[in-house]
Chain A
Amino acid sequence: MPATATQTTSAWAGRVQPRVHIAGDGPPLVFLHGAGGLTWDPFLDALAKNFTVYAPEHPGTTPGDPDGVNSIDNLWDLVLYYYELFDSLGLESPAVVGHSFGGMVAAESPPPEPSRVSRLTLISPIGLWRDDTPIPNWMTLTPEELTPLVCADPQGPVAQQMFALPEDPDAAADATIQFVWSMACTGKFVWPIPDKGLRKRIHRITAPTLIIWGHRDGLVSPIYAEEFRSRIAGSRVEVLEDAAHLPQLERMEEAVRLVTEFCSS
Chain B
Amino acid sequence: MKISMFHLMPHRELPADFEQRYKSVWVDPPFNELADPSRVGQFYNWTLDELVHAARAGLDGICVNEHHQNAYGFMPGPNLMGSALARETAGLDVGIVQMGATLPTTNPPTRVAEEYAMLDCISGGRLVAGMPLGSPMDANMCYGIPPIEQRERYYEAHDLILKAWASDEMFAWNGKYQQLGMVNIWPRPVQKPHPPVWVPGSGSLSTWDFAAKHDHCYCFLSYFGSGLGKKVMDGFWEFVDQGGIDPNPHRAGFLQLVVVGETDADAEAKYAEHVKYFYDKCLHIPLHYLGPPGHQDHRSLTHAIKSGTAARTQEVMNNLANYTFREFADQQFVIAGSAATVRDQLREAVRTLRVGNLMVLLHIGSMPHELTLENIDRFAADVLPYLRDEWGDWENRWWPESLRHQRQLVGV
Contact = CB atoms under 8 A, between A and B. Distances in A.
A119 B263 CA distance: 78
Nearest to A138: B293
A142 B145 CA distance: 20
Interface string A187-201: 110011100000000
A187 B147 contact: yes
Given A73-B176, A140-B289, A185 B301 contact: no
Nearest to B142: A192
Interface stretch (A85-93, A173-181, A209-217, A229-237): A173-181
A176 B293 CA distance: 11
B30 interface: no
A69 interface: yes
A248 to B, nearest CB: 23
B146 to A, nearest CB: 4
A177 B294 CA distance: 11
A233 B113 CA distance: 51
Interface in B298-325: 298-299, 301-302, 305-306
Interface string A125-166: 000000000000001111000000000000000000000000
B294 A192 contact: no
Given A67-B298, A180-B301, A188 B148 contact: yes
The size class of the interface chain A forms with chain B is 20 to 34
B293 A183 contact: yes
Interface-centre pick from A73, A182, A192 (highest chain B CB count, 10 A): A192
A69 B294 CA distance: 11
A111 interface: no
A184 B305 contact: no
Interface string A5-34: 000000000000000000000000000000
A21 to B, nearest CB: 21
Contact of A183 (B145, B289, B294, B298): B294
Interface in B268-312: 286, 288-289, 292-294, 297-299, 301-302, 305-306
A184 B302 contact: no
A140 B141 contact: yes
A66 interface: yes
Nearest to B299: A66
A188 B144 contact: no
Contacts of A66: 297-299
Given A139-B292, A183-B293, A184-B293, A191 B301 contact: no
B288 A191 contact: no
The size class of the interface chain B forms with chain A is 20 to 34
B306 A184 contact: no
Chain A facing B: main interface SS: helix
Nearest to A184: B294
A69 B299 CA distance: 14
Given A139-B292, A140-B288, A191-B140, A177 B148 contact: no
B365 to A, nearest CB: 26
B305 A187 contact: no
Contacts of A187: 146-148, 292-294
Interface string A56-70: 000010000011010
B304 to A, nearest CB: 9
A192 B144 contact: yes
B149 A188 contact: yes
Contacts of B286: 142
Contact of A173 (B293, B294, B305): B305
A85 B145 CA distance: 29
Contacts of B141: 140, 192
B27 to A, nearest CB: 8
Nearest to A185: B148
B298 to A, nearest CB: 4
Q: What 7 pairs across the A-B complex have the smallest Cβ distances?
A: A184-B294, A183-B293, A66-B298, A191-B146, A184-B293, A192-B144, A188-B148
Interface of B: 140-141, 144-149, 176, 286, 288-289, 292-294, 297-299, 301-302, 305-306
16 contacts: A139-B292, A140-B141, A142-B286, A173-B306, A176-B305, A177-B302, A177-B305, A182-B293, A184-B293, A184-B294, A187-B146, A187-B293, A188-B148, A188-B149, A188-B294, A192-B146
